[in-house]
Amino acid sequence: MDTDSRQFQIIRDKYTKAASLKIETEGNWSLFAGSTFDNINHTQPLLTGNGSGIFPLNVSTSIRLYFELDNEGEKIYLSERHLPMEGGYNFRDLGGFKAKDGRYTKWGKLFRADELSNLTGSDIKYLSSIPITSVVDFRAQAEAKRSPDRLPTTVQFTYPIAITPGNLSTEGIQSNLLKSNIDSHMKHMNRLLVSDPACVRAFRIFFAIVQNNLSAPLIFHCSAGKDRAGMAAALILFSLGVDEETVMQDYLSSKIYLSDKYDAFIAKYPRAEPIFTVKRMFLQAGINQIKRDHGTIMNFLTKELKVDIIRMRRLYLE
């Protein structure tokens, strides 16, 4: 069963961090929990029920947990897709997506995020429980210097890999607002992400890091977590065999998670909306550019980005 469907979700309130199971099903089910999938406590269910609903979970607010749902004999593995960061908005686990071969992307290995400079003490504690080992920062040097990452002590490796097509930095936003068609500018920027030699080189380095079996659990991030990190997430999911529409839906969900962060600014400067949100045509422009230049996305991944598909799937699918 597709664990990424909206039938089964672990959700947390951003501020209280209270957890709930959201489920749409028929029949009896039981939910078990553990700090990893390997040590889930099967002796005592955390929760049992029948049918659909939203059910509060009595679990810690400060550590990452993993869940096994037994739904009429079918086992479904779950964790939080959207992490409950008080000081972050677009912070997500790339686990639980179904690949074309029937396997699923592993939970708790690869995380996409917006800026990490405002993480709170409780956020840091939560990330330490995963524990996050590596952080890749796609921001320009000036961005990173102005808003340095706040990281848990579990982080052993940090990789600054600046990607700056179309002036994505804060400094570029004002000049971008002067452009007559900002939608066109954002589409052009997504094309540059996969065609500009400097961007391609940066993504090649990124995949070399991701393919190192010592790197995960790994966070990769930019400032909003939607453009540079959005393309990185799309390329990872493509490499793992996730279909294009699922990749697109993951990309589009940034619109939901970033609304708290940018809605007030957009209300004041409505012309700025394309810079602070996502639209299908933005990522599609990048995908189409890849197909024009390389025939297929797989050609781009293997020939240009030097992705070892077999290795990626061994590391990140189950």
Q: Which domains does the chain have, with CATH numbers?
A: 1-80 (2.60.40.10), 81-316 (3.90.190.10)
What the block records as the tokens of 234 is 């799309």
> Of 107, 152, 135, 150, which Cα lies nearest the Cα of 218?
135
Residue 235, pLDDT above cutoff 60: yes
CB neighbour class for 232 (10 Å; exposed up to 12, middle 13-18, buried from 19):
buried
The CB density around residue 278, as the number of other CB atoms within 10 Å, is 22
SS3 282: helix
What the block records as the tokens of 275 is 């810079």
Strand partners, 10: 21, 80
Q: What is residue 181's predicted lDDT score, i.e. its pLDDT?
A: 81
Q: What is residue 166's predicted lDDT score, i.e. its pLDDT?
A: 62
Residue 5, pLDDT above cutoff 70: no
Q: From CA 221, how far away is CA 206, in angstroms rounded?
A: 11
Q: What is residue 17's predicted lDDT score, i.e. its pLDDT?
A: 83
pLDDT, tens digit, for every residue of 77-104?
A: 999 999 989 999 999 999 999 999 999 9
Q: What mean pLDDT is predicted for residues 30-39?
A: 94
Q: From CA 295, how far away is CA 184, in angstroms rounded?
A: 23
Nearest-10 Cα torsion for 258, 259, 264, 267: 120
Residue 172, pLDDT above cutoff 70: no
SS3 273: helix
The CB density around residue 178, as the number of other CB atoms within 10 Å, is 8
What the block records as the tokens of 170 is 């804060």
Q: What is the mean pLDDT of the chain?
A: 91
Give the pTM.
0.92
> Of 117, 99, 282, 262, which Cα lies nearest the Cα of 186?
282
CB neighbour class for 244 (10 Å; exposed up to 12, middle 13-18, buried from 19):
middle
The CB density around residue 210, as the number of other CB atoms within 10 Å, is 25
